[in-house]
Homo-oligomer: A and B are copies of this chain.
Amino acid sequence: MNSGASIGIDVGGTKCLGVILEGDHVVTEVRRPTPASPVAIIDTLEEIVHELGDLPTVGVGVPGLVTRQGVIRASPNLTAVADFDVAGMLAARLGHSVVVDNDATCAAVAEWRAGAARGHRDAVVVTLGTGIGGGLIVDDRVVRGTNGFAGEVGHMVIDPNGPVCPCGRRGCWERFASGSALGAMARAVVRAGGLSAITTLVDDGSDVRGEQVCELAARGDVEALDVVNEFAYWVALGLVSLTNMTDPSCIVIGGGLAASGDVFMDPVRHHFARLLYSPNLRPHPRLEIARFGELAGAVGAASLATLSRSA
């Protein structure tokens, strides 16, 4: 038995990803769909911990506003959840304490300590999935904010007349630049009679998801490349605003869509360089795919649990 190993679980809008982390390496991973109700989510978390061997050091990343005590106050992409005491409920099941933090904060910790932002004192990590999460590293520290709610970059409004967001407002960045936004963009093209090659990947084009658009674009499909290019513009637009706020030397893109990063990172870099304020008069931050890809949240949750245990 490896006493240095820990379990990290990332609760996403659609799936839960669990890993065993040894040092900086993921040695096992499991996936389960994310159920709807709080109790069912706790059931799933407990099952994943059992399946991963019941290690005593457990960290969980969850989306939304998470207090420093591990309570989800609100989470637009988890339905039926408000004031959900993940840390308390899961600890009661497992018989020991667990660390619960915002999923994107976890991802930022992973990438900054051992991943693509390693060595950068000022970094921004965004996770593109069902929504957009964010973690900010400023002056070699994780930004948590007064309540632990910092880094909710997905709800930066980039168009007050844009589509309604589950958070209740209009035109949040995640309505334009998340994995689900890419899927929605592609489905609109399908409805308009485009993206005909999508039928090679899905039976019904009206079901197309972001990852599939990226797969089609990776094969060189011109229509899919157009959709990815528009998506990349929206990603870059938000990253430029974040750069204006915190002036990072590195920006890392993680989340479910990170696995398709090869397809969209170059267009993102292109738009970023064009949109950045005074691009010719300043060094540009590096734009990188998360080293831990879509596992970054789970890896960071495991790291935070280990840190908390050794503290």
Contact B145 A247 (CB under 8 A): yes
* Contact of A249 with B by CB under 8 A: yes
Q: How many copies does the complex hold?
A: 2
- Interfacial residues of chain A within 131-161, with CB under 8 A of chain B in the complex: 134, 136, 138-139, 141, 143-153, 155-161
Smallest distance from the beta carbon of A222 to chain B beta carbons, Å? Answer: 24
Contact B146 A249 (CB under 8 A): yes
**B residues less than 8 Å from A161 (CB atoms):** 159
SS class, residues of chain A in contact with chain B: loop
Contacts known (A73-B281, A146-B121, A146-B249); A244 close to B152, Cβ less than 8 A: yes
Smallest distance from the beta carbon of A79 to chain B beta carbons, Å? Answer: 14
Give the complex CA separation of A285 and B145 in angstroms.
11
* Contact of A47 with B by CB under 8 A: no
Contact B157 A237 (CB under 8 A): yes
* Contact of A122 with B by CB under 8 A: yes
* Contact of A206 with B by CB under 8 A: no
Smallest distance from the beta carbon of A247 to chain B beta carbons, Å? Answer: 2
Minimum CB distance partner of A240 in chain B: B157
Contact A247 B144 (CB under 8 A): yes
Smallest distance from the beta carbon of A237 to chain B beta carbons, Å? Answer: 6
**B residues less than 8 Å from A283 (CB atoms):** 146-147
* Contact of A167 with B by CB under 8 A: yes
Contacts known (A157-B158, A237-B157); A146 close to B248, Cβ less than 8 A: yes
Contact B136 A245 (CB under 8 A): yes
* Contact of A37 with B by CB under 8 A: no
* Contact of A273 with B by CB under 8 A: no
Smallest distance from the beta carbon of A207 to chain B beta carbons, Å? Answer: 29
Per-residue B-contact encoding for A230-247, CB less than 8 Å = 1, 0 else: 000000010011101111
The 6 closest A-B pairs by CB, nearest first: A145-B247, A74-B278, A152-B244, A150-B247, A146-B249, A149-B247
